[in-house]
Amino acid sequence: MILKKGILNIAILSVPIIFILGTLFVGRYHVSFSEVIYSLLAPLDFDVSKNISRETLTVVTQLRLPRAIAGAFIGAGLAASGCAFQGVFRNPLVNSGLLGVSSGAGFGAALAIILFAAQWTSYVLAFSFGIIAVGMSYWIARIYKSVPTVMLILGGTIVSSLFSALLSFLKYVADTESQLPTIVYWLMGSLSSVGYSDFWALIPVVSGLIILFIMSWKINVLSMGDKEAQTMGVDVKRNKLLIITGATLATAGSVCMSGMIGWVGLIIPHMGRMIVGNDNRRLMPVSMSMGAAFMVLIDTISRSITASEIPLGILTSLIGAPFFIYLLKKTKGGGWK
């Protein structure tokens, strides 16, 4: 049992790293095994950089590596948030966008594209409006003194549709030659422009991941329902708020970098449930690990399969949807009622 746990822990850490390293070899610009090794060693100044061309070094360390690292954290963030929301809301079919963070972020990004030219503004506005949207959902749900789960889901639905409408409005008024394609492309999700200079957006993602990892046991207890969780000694309101904060930081940070990416927050936790069961103490880190690996894989396919990149949102759904159907059929025998 302890040995099995040890192997699992090693796998959780090593699988994303293997995928990140693996993706450095793949792409339309051919790079050999030794060139990758040399590129990775180059910053350590082992005098190896003369063995490889400047282009190779740039492709590996400036293009593929930052994309892979960002993709891994984004995948982990989306999967962990989805996992947390499924637990807290006692609903296996919700994802990280439940409280409106994705719709809010989409609106924020579109607003930035229309009002400002600089790319960093779309990051900031997407992140901010993602947080604002969740704040609004929470505020709506607080009509009663407590924050009942059903009211939160209702609040999230209302806020999501509000921001979807606002986004449609922005699309309607956007310049059809330049702005509209940018908005549409952003909404479909991509990591093509991600570099080290954007890594500050990973700070909220990592903070969110840490919060969700620490709170994984409380998510178990909260999934018993608010009343029972309280009778077991859990401060429901405070813990729920902390978990929602963690999930929102992780999702908003992810979405502002990558645009909208569906399915990861829904299917990855379910893949985890099949493999390690539903105890969030194990499910949470496994979801993070699998989300990271899945995202790196999808991004690799996105940038290597055709000459122009396929948007991530399309690929996650194309690959995710059939897999999810398969899972639904399969898990019917896996303890679900």
Cα(333)–Cα(324) distance, rounded to whole angstroms? 15
Beta carbons of 264 and 75 less than 8 angstroms apart:
yes
92 contacts another protein (rule: CB under 8 A) = yes
148 contacts another protein (rule: CB under 8 A) = no
Provide the 8-state DSSP code for 95. Answer: -
195 contacts another protein (rule: CB under 8 A) = no
Smallest separation, CB 92 to another protein (Å): 7
281 contacts another protein (rule: CB under 8 A) = yes
Q: Give the interface segment with another protein, choosing from 52-60, 164-172, 173-181, 230-238 (CB under 8 A).
A: 230-238
Which amino acid would we find at residue 175? D
Please select the residue that binds another protein; options are 196, 200, 217, 326, rule is CB under 8 A. Answer: 217
274 contacts another protein (rule: CB under 8 A) = no
Catalogue the E-assigned strands of the chain.
none
Which structure tokens are listed for 286? Answer: 């496994």
Residue number, 282 or 303, with CB nearest to another protein: 282
Nearest partner of 66 among 296, 322, 308, judged by Cα: 296
Collapsing DSSP to helix, strand or coil, 72 comes out as: helix
Please select the residue that binds another protein; options are 6, 181, 277, 322, rule is CB under 8 A. Answer: 277
Phi/psi region, residue 277 (left: phi>0; alpha: psi -120 to 50; beta: rest), is left
**What DSSP line would sit under 205-255, residue for residue?**
HHHHHHHHHHTHHHHHHHTT-HHHHHHTT--HHHHHHHHHHHHHHHHHHHH
Q: 311 φ, ψ to 5°?
A: -60, 140
330 contacts another protein (rule: CB under 8 A) = no
Provide the 8-state DSSP code for 90. Answer: T
Q: Give the interface segment with another protein, choosing from 61-69, 122-130, 221-229, 260-268 (CB under 8 A).
A: 221-229
Cα(73)–Cα(62) distance, rounded to whole angstroms? 17
Contact characters 102-131, another protein, x per CB under 8 A:
------------------------------
Smallest separation, CB 225 to another protein (Å): 6
230 contacts another protein (rule: CB under 8 A) = yes
232 contacts another protein (rule: CB under 8 A) = yes
220 contacts another protein (rule: CB under 8 A) = yes
Smallest separation, CB 284 to another protein (Å): 11
CA distances from 295 to 67, 258, 279, 301 (A): 10, 11, 23, 10
Task: By CB under 8 A, name the binding residues for another protein.
Answer: 87, 90, 92, 214-218, 220-221, 223-225, 227-228, 230-236, 273, 277-279, 281, 334-337
